[in-house]
Amino acid sequence: MRTIEWKNGTVIIVDQTKLPKDTVWLQITDYKAMASAIKEMKLRGAPLIGVAAAYGLALAAFHSKAEKREDLMKELETTAETLRKTRPTAVNLFWAIDRVMKKAQETAGAKEDLAEAVVAEAQRMADEDVEVNRQMGKHGAALIEDGDVVLTHCNAGSLATVDYGTALGVIRAAVEEGKNVKVIACETRPRLQGARLTCYELMRDNIPVTLISDTMVGYVMSKGLVDKVVVGADRIVWDAVLNKIGTYNVAVLAFEHGIPFYVAAPTSTMDQSRTSDDAVIEERNPTEVTNIGSERIAPEGVKVLNPAFDITPLEYVDAVITEEGILVPEVRLKPKNGQQKKRD
């Protein structure tokens, strides 16, 4: 099912903060509501955020009262600036906004022609996302063997994209090829995307899944219960992968146990002009850590650190799976204390 759709000037999204208990569809009719939905994580996942931002621009264009092309362009620039401020880490957000704005700037004609072009570009990007994910899944499925148990972190499935998914798309493609694949899903504190969303998706698709807490990763790996790790990404810079907080822990533990660690992400997530030193890590509300839902679990007044993402050096990544194929980083870990890299 598509997690986001355009219907004659309204964008329909599933409110992911309500899952898995309730499936609530929201109707968004202006760009400010779209910006709020992105910021409040009613929709999330780098590819989906990108398409949502494109649709935010489409909403502004579709409902604009501007009479001249120049006035509509100014409105689009204001909309773009608002959307850029919602989530600083996911590069797809900025990629999508830049792509739609470029299309707008290149479109000749009256205000109506410009609005039509912006809406069409956003819809094109949504359709492309589904095809990109399926191509990515097809490439990644070659890395999954029959009988594998795959560990994943956070949610990189259809709910993080328009449809099909990145990391879960790889798993889905392997299952569609007839391979027997089981999944271990980390809960993903503090927002619990693994527990709430990944388990929801896999159970819906009848793919066997076992939920573990984030602190159990080393244990299950030490017991030989994990064959591969596949995660998504919010931004891939020249030397590292930025993904949901906890990914770095999983990567280091996979390295120590000789388990292949794969990242599945579209090329729109690539940001090769920057390095990890340039990374902007989103810091979110402390209540995400001090509370579970509306229930406070920590003492009042305690200091909280709540980065939404962490940085995994590419040295820990065996391959990056994209729609264009499988990329193998050229970097390799240097021996530590005389020990060679265990996967070599």
What pLDDT, in 10s, does the model give residues 46-72? 999 999 999 999 999 999 999 999 999
Residue type, position 48, single letter? L
Asked if the model's pLDDT at residue 334 lies above 70, the reply is: no
Average pLDDT, the chain: 94
Instruction: Answer yes or no: are the C-beta atoms of 23 and 14 closer than 8 Å.
Output: yes
Which residues are part of the catalytic machinery? 234
| Cis ω for the linkage preceding 286 (within 30 of 0) | no
Whether the pLDDT of residue 339 is over 90: the answer is no
**Rounded Cα distance, 130 and 1, in Å:** 11
Q: Which residue has the higher pLDDT, 265 or 334?
A: 265
Task: Over range 304-314, report the average pLDDT.
Answer: 97
Tokens representing residue 203 in the block:
């159970």
Cis peptide before 335 (omega within 30 of 0): no
pTM, 2 dp: 0.92
Convert the pLDDT of each residue in 262-303 to its tens digit.
999 999 999 988 999 998 999 999 999 999 988 999 999 999
337 confidence band (pLDDT: 50, 70, 90): very low
> What band does 332 get if pLDDT is binned at 50, 70 and 90?
low
Cα–Cα distance, 159 to 181 (Å, whole number): 20
> What band does 333 get if pLDDT is binned at 50, 70 and 90?
low
